[in-house]
Chain A
Amino acid sequence: MKKIIYLALTAATTFLLIQSCSKSSDGGSKNTNTGSSFDRKAMLVNISSNIIIPAYTSYHDATVSLDAAVTTFNTTPTAGNLTALQNSFIAAYKQWQSTSMYNFGPAQDAGLGVNTNTYPVSVTQITANINSGTYNPLLLANLAAKGLPALDYLLFGTGADNAAILAQFTTDSKAANRKTYLAALSAELKTNATTVLAAWNGSYKTTFLNATGTDVSSSTGQLVNQLIYDYEILKNYEIGIPAGTQSMGTTFPEKVQAYYSKISLQLTELHLSAIQNLYNGATGLGLDDYLISANNTALNTRIQTQFSAAATKLQGLTDPLSANIISNPTAVTASYTELQKLTVMLKTDMTQALGIAITFGDNDGD
């Protein structure tokens, strides 16, 4: 009996020594805990089922309603139908704010982001397309003449008031062409939304759930990259560039999102809240939990605080944002500053804590 115990002791001692031996041969590659015990797949399940697919479903439904409203308006162009169409448009634009940050996989394949929301629009290009009566949706040269921003212009910017706008679709010499163009744009939005939603409801969801690593082509890698990329669009294109932060103070109020419908700030607030919701994984597992499991509770707290600080600053602004930029540029740039702080936390600190590489570049203009 004693012998057995001693043999066991011997084995245990040897095992311990081997253990320590192999540990020392790691050569000091011991790194910070990047949450290796965290269940990334569960996070992906939560985010896809409870956030991404519902967002695409709602956005798809919104584009179906929008396209139907266009059909109704084109058939019966009345003031009432114009208002109904404008409301449908606003609903779709609002829903887009919580749909734009998944620009990988099916959305990337369809060019969903740029086809849906490239702004500022090129009124020149839109006018040329209407006048010529030809429009090729595939040409990238038409990106600034399509999508929600082009509808924003057509439905809110073609006249000083709704009566004048209605005239563009009824009595104007190009009214028929304009209606055709309107229909082409809303149909394209619907088609793209349908394509992407179908892919997520089909095989892509499995692809997404199975890419559980943290490398650049993993789902977590793509989610984090696109969350940050989309956040930078919010910060730069919705606020910064119009407020002149990249042009030494020269403002470009006309470059805001939804310039003609004047709902820019509302959209930005929804957008920020949607990005925070994604970060939090709604009420389930999200990047917040991932950071906490990687021993970065303090960073998560800072990020949450900064989301709130940025939201508070935005709440201090008013729509139309384009007018606010002119009347109170200091308040707008102060919001930008709060947003910028969050960029550093997300893009530098969070990616470092989670060991995720940023794969998109800054446009260096070379």
Chain B
Amino acid sequence: MKKYLSIACALTIAASVITGCSKNDKTPTPVDPAPVYTVPTTYNFDNANFADATTRLGMYTEISTLMKNALTGTFDAAKAKAMLTNTGAPFTTAAYNTSGIQLNDQFAPAFKTDASNFIDSLAKASAAASTAASRGVAGVGASSANAASKYALTSLGVNYAQVFNKNFMGGLITYQIVTTMDNVVNQTIDNTTVVNGSTAMEHAWDLAFGYWGVPVDFPTNKTGAKLWGSYSTQVDSGFKANKILMDAFLKGRAAISAKDKPVFVAQAKIIITAMEKLTGAAALQEVKEVKESISDNMARNSRLSECYGFVNSLKYNPKKVVTDAQIAAFLALFPKTFYDLTLTDVNAIRDAVAKQYDFDSVKDIL
């Protein structure tokens, strides 16, 4: 009898353990009245529309292509500026010319003047394209590792095509994304009235996603990812920006449609933080590239220009944590002429940026 009791006891305990186990797998009964909605795994929201952002990134690509003419001395600065304001049908893609939208009015205020100056500086290097670039001499230089890679550099060794490119990422894209997210956090965009199928907040959020420059099923699919969409992947080994941003964009957009305020505010804050950190990570990624082409004067100068561009672009972020004085201190670590760069300089830039953004443990691998 005792024996049976004990076996029964064992079975009972076992059963209760099994029950406990299976109970864990059950969905708990909701205890709060939070809105019920599904966060999708791709940005395929029925009423999503970010065509204008895509158009603007396309306009940027045309400017970027135009800038390659600097290598042959035919860079047309006036045309580049006309592209910024979409004046006089400057684009090859006819739809851009008739789109009624432009880049310039999306720029951070300070970037409007800077963009124009960067274009003028590139034009100076372009004008000297027949000269070989060297210390103190503007012109075009080829990579020592690959003669097909050429760069139009100023007399100080700066590649303004890259400086423009990286500051565009800060002065338009980051500026727009962060501004939108800040408006979402502060509830200054309407999320009630539906216009053209979506609320103003939904649409602004969509445009912010569009500016990131990734496919809707990113990061599973990375085809066509450009600008920040490309860099968030490049830094992924040290900073998981792809997942952080994609999760937040998806969750936030679903929450906006479901009017789940605490959630979309939280996601907007995540995106604000991530965009600044991503800029720091991208600067470190360029430090790594500088090191990878460390003995290649022309390629190294160009990559240092990219790094300089990212660091400088931090200033256009309206919600940046880093101060203007800190940015100035980072920029002061770059030599006046890029031909004077030392390993000590490179490491100082790396260490300063890594410290600012908590990347010390991954500063060499971003």
A interface list, Cβ under 8 A from B: 2-3, 6-7, 9-10, 13-14, 17-18, 21, 24-25, 108-109, 111, 114, 118, 120, 122, 138-141, 143-144, 216-217, 241, 246, 357, 359-361, 363, 365
Q: Do A140 and B365 have beta carbons less than 8 Å apart?
A: no
CA distance in complex: A14, B11 (Å):
9
Q: When A and B form their complex, what is the total count of cross-chain residue pairs whose Cβ atoms lie within 8 Å?
A: 101
Q: Do A144 and B144 have beta carbons less than 8 Å apart?
A: yes
Q: Do A365 and B149 have beta carbons less than 8 Å apart?
A: yes
Determine the chain A residues whose CB is within 8 A of the CB of B41 once the complex forms.
none
CA distance in complex: A337, B365 (Å):
29
Determine the chain A residues whose CB is within 8 A of the CB of B10 once the complex forms.
6, 9-10, 13-14
Determine the chain A residues whose CB is within 8 A of the CB of B143 once the complex forms.
365
Q: Do A6 and B17 have beta carbons less than 8 Å apart?
A: no
Please list 6 pairs of residues, one from A and one from B, whose beta carbons are closer than 8 Å in the complex, sorted by A's number.
A6-B6, A17-B21, A21-B18, A114-B295, A122-B144, A141-B135
Determine the chain A residues whose CB is within 8 A of the CB of B186 once the complex forms.
none
Determine the chain A residues whose CB is within 8 A of the CB of B288 once the complex forms.
360-361
CA distance in complex: A18, B289 (Å):
51
Pairs of residues from A and B, 5 with the lowest C-beta to C-beta distance, nearest first: A6-B6, A143-B295, A21-B21, A359-B365, A10-B10
Which listed residue, A2, A109, A122, A357, touches B3 by the CB 8 Å rule?
A: A2
CA distance in complex: A139, B303 (Å):
16
Determine the chain B residues whose CB is within 8 A of the CB of A10 once the complex forms.
6, 9-10, 13
Determine the chain B residues whose CB is within 8 A of the CB of A246 once the complex forms.
146
Q: Do A140 and B364 have beta carbons less than 8 Å apart?
A: no
Give the Cβ gap from B363 to chain A, nearest Cβ, in Å.
Answer: 10
Determine the chain A residues whose CB is within 8 A of the CB of B342 once the complex forms.
138-140
B294 within 8 A of A: yes
B interface list, Cβ under 8 A from A: 2-3, 6-7, 9-10, 13-14, 17-18, 20-21, 24-25, 135, 143-146, 149, 234, 237-238, 288-289, 292-295, 297, 299-300, 339-344, 346-347, 361-362, 364-365
Which listed residue, A143, A357, A365, touches B299 by the CB 8 Å rule?
A: A365
Which listed residue, B234, B340, B361, touches A139 by the CB 8 Å rule?
A: B340
Q: Do B6 and A7 have beta carbons less than 8 Å apart?
A: yes
Q: Do A143 and B294 have beta carbons less than 8 Å apart?
A: yes
Q: Do B365 and A216 have beta carbons less than 8 Å apart?
A: yes
Q: Do B294 and A111 have beta carbons less than 8 Å apart?
A: yes
Give the Cβ gap from B20 to chain A, nearest Cβ, in Å.
Answer: 8
Given A6-B10, A138-B342, the answer on whether A361 and B17 have CB atoms closer than 8 Å is no
Determine the chain B residues whose CB is within 8 A of the CB of A361 once the complex forms.
234, 288-289, 292
Q: Do A138 and B14 have beta carbons less than 8 Å apart?
A: no
CA distance in complex: A20, B14 (Å):
11
Q: Do B2 and A17 have beta carbons less than 8 Å apart?
A: no
CA distance in complex: A241, B146 (Å):
10
Q: Do B341 and A140 have beta carbons less than 8 Å apart?
A: yes
Chain A residue nearest in CB terms to B145: A363
Q: Do A363 and B17 have beta carbons less than 8 Å apart?
A: no
Beyond A6-B3, A114-B294, A216-B362, 16 additional contacts (C-beta under 8 Å) are A2-B2, A7-B6, A9-B10, A10-B6, A10-B9, A13-B13, A17-B18, A21-B20, A21-B21, A114-B295, A140-B300, A216-B238, A360-B292, A361-B288, A363-B146, A365-B143
Q: Do B237 and A139 have beta carbons less than 8 Å apart?
A: no
Which listed residue, B135, B289, B300, B364, touches A108 by the CB 8 Å rule?
A: B364
Chain A residue nearest in CB terms to B306: A366
Determine the chain A residues whose CB is within 8 A of the CB of B2 once the complex forms.
2-3, 6
Give the Cβ gap from A269 to chain B, nearest Cβ, in Å.
Answer: 24
Q: Do B343 and A138 have beta carbons less than 8 Å apart?
A: yes
Q: Do B14 and A3 have beta carbons less than 8 Å apart?
A: no
Chain A residue nearest in CB terms to B24: A25
Give the Cβ gap from B133 to chain A, nearest Cβ, in Å.
Answer: 12
Give the Cβ gap from A149 to chain B, nearest Cβ, in Å.
Answer: 10
CA distance in complex: A365, B144 (Å):
11
Q: Do B7 and A6 have beta carbons less than 8 Å apart?
A: yes
Chain A residue nearest in CB terms to B17: A17
Chain B residue nearest in CB terms to A15: B17
Given A6-B10, A361-B292, the answer on whether A141 and B339 have CB atoms closer than 8 Å is yes
Q: Do A141 and B341 have beta carbons less than 8 Å apart?
A: yes
Q: Do A363 and B341 have beta carbons less than 8 Å apart?
A: no
Give the Cβ gap from A8 to chain B, nearest Cβ, in Å.
Answer: 10
Give the Cβ gap from B352 to chain A, nearest Cβ, in Å.
Answer: 16
Determine the chain A residues whose CB is within 8 A of the CB of B344 once the complex forms.
138
Determine the chain B residues whose CB is within 8 A of the CB of A109 once the complex forms.
347
Q: Do B362 and A217 have beta carbons less than 8 Å apart?
A: yes
CA distance in complex: A312, B237 (Å):
37
Given A138-B342, A365-B299, the answer on whether A357 and B14 have CB atoms closer than 8 Å is no
Determine the chain A residues whose CB is within 8 A of the CB of B13 once the complex forms.
10, 13-14
Q: Do B362 and A140 have beta carbons less than 8 Å apart?
A: no
Chain B residue nearest in CB terms to A143: B295
CA distance in complex: A122, B2 (Å):
93
Chain A residue nearest in CB terms to B304: A140
Determine the chain A residues whose CB is within 8 A of the CB of B364 once the complex forms.
108, 359
CA distance in complex: A24, B237 (Å):
30
Q: Do A140 and B292 have beta carbons less than 8 Å apart?
A: no
Chain B residue nearest in CB terms to A122: B144
Of A17, A114, A360, the most chain B CB neighbours within 10 A belong to A17
Determine the chain B residues whose CB is within 8 A of the CB of A363 once the complex forms.
145-146, 289, 292-293, 299
Of A140, A143, A144, the most chain B CB neighbours within 10 A belong to A140
Chain A residue nearest in CB terms to B22: A21
Determine the chain A residues whose CB is within 8 A of the CB of B7 once the complex forms.
6
Determine the chain A residues whose CB is within 8 A of the CB of B17 once the complex forms.
14, 17-18, 21
Determine the chain B residues whose CB is within 8 A of the CB of A144 once the complex forms.
144, 295, 297
